[in-house]
């Protein structure tokens, strides 16, 4: 048995990004464990979780959950900007994450549009 959201490429990309962020933040100094690291992990984890949860709801509710997932993409962008300023990320990694988040945000918008 599988759930319908598991086959969505947007969900798979969100899972991959979440894995990437978790691995990345694992090496960050412990002093950031309970603030920026934790917030970044929660924000990125929110993306696939909201895609999954929304898929079990009505179309109207699903669109709302997709809005939340997309908002989490924006939150991750802001946190990576702060992480860059704190020298927790280098510019190359931040730019790679930014590209992935841009693509993910567009995919979420496309999925939302398909639910009308």
CATH code at 43? 1.20.1440.60
Look up the domain containing 41 and give its range: 4-114
How many CA atoms, within 13 angstroms, populate the side-chain half-sphere of residue 32? 18
**Measured in whole angstroms, how far is the alpha carbon of residue 15 from the centre of its chain?**
8
pLDDT over 90 for what percent of the chain? 95
Q: What is the mean pLDDT of residues 3-13?
A: 96
* Contact present, 21 and 73 (Cβ < 8 Å): no
Instruction: Please write the tens of the pLDDT for every residue from 53-65.
Output: 999 999 999 999 9
- If one counts the domains in the chain, the total is 1
pLDDT at position 58: 94
* Contact present, 80 and 55 (Cβ < 8 Å): no
pLDDT band at 114 (very low <50, low <70, confident <90, very high): very high
pLDDT at position 29: 92
Q: What is the mean pLDDT of residues 78-82?
A: 98
Q: Is the pLDDT of residue 116 over 70?
A: yes
């Amino acid at each position: 048995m599988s759930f319908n959201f598991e086959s969505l490429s947007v969900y798979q990309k969100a899972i991959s990004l979440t894995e990437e962020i978790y691995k990345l933040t694992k090496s960050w100094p412990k002093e950031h464990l309970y603030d920026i690291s934790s917030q970044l992990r929660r924000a990125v984890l929110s993306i696939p979780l909201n895609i999954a949860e929304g898929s079990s709801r009505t179309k109207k509710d699903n669109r709302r959950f997709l809005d939340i997932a997309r908002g989490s993409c924006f939150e991750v962008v802001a946190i990576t900007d702060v992480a860059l300023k704190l020298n927790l990320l280098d510019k190359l990694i931040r730019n790679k994450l930014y590209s992935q988040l841009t693509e993910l945000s567009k995919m979420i918008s496309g999925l939302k549009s398909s639910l009308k």
